[in-house]
Amino acid sequence: MEQTIIGVVWFGAVGGGAMGALAASQAVTGRPTIPLLRRIGWSVRELKLIGLIWAIYWFGMTIYILVSSLAIASNQHVDFLPMTIYPVILGGPAFQLLMERYHHRQWPFKGRVGNN
């Protein structure tokens, strides 16, 4: 059973690392590497910021998956795992929604962000 858990979770970690690498290349180049981002005419600055945040998100998810799989496989007490994943899971999509609001000039907060 532990071998199956480790195999499945490491596969998830490899996928998360690949997505993190795609996001990091977007953060460096400013070109959309994820097909969903090509629908909207993002500026280079917005694409770099989105790429940076998604890279942090995916690398954080990858580290979380690896640590949790090792804790589960070694039969450690893992009560902390379900509580700590929610901010990690919700952080990336929440930022993406805020960036879309900013791009369409519907920023929900007072003040202005950036020069756009």
Whether 50 maps to a domain, the answer reads: yes
77: containing domain: 2-103
Whether 9 maps to a domain, the answer reads: yes
What are the percentages of helix, strand and coil residues in the chain, rounded to 5? 75, 0, 25
Instruction: Please indicate whether residue 105 or residue 114 has the higher confidence score (pLDDT).
Output: 105
Whether 34 maps to a domain, the answer reads: yes
Closest by Cα among 60, 49, 54, 51 to 87? 60
Indicate the number of domains in the chain.
Answer: 1
Burial of 7 (0-12, 13-18, 19+ CB in 10 A): exposed
User: What is the tens place of the pLDDT at every residue in 12-67?
Assistant: 888 888 888 988 898 898 888 876 666 677 788 888 888 888 888 888 888 888 77
> Residue 33 — φ and ψ, nearest 5°?
-105, -15
Residue 92 pLDDT exceeds 50? yes
The whole-number pLDDT of residue 96 equals 77
Whether 86 maps to a domain, the answer reads: yes
Whether 60 maps to a domain, the answer reads: yes
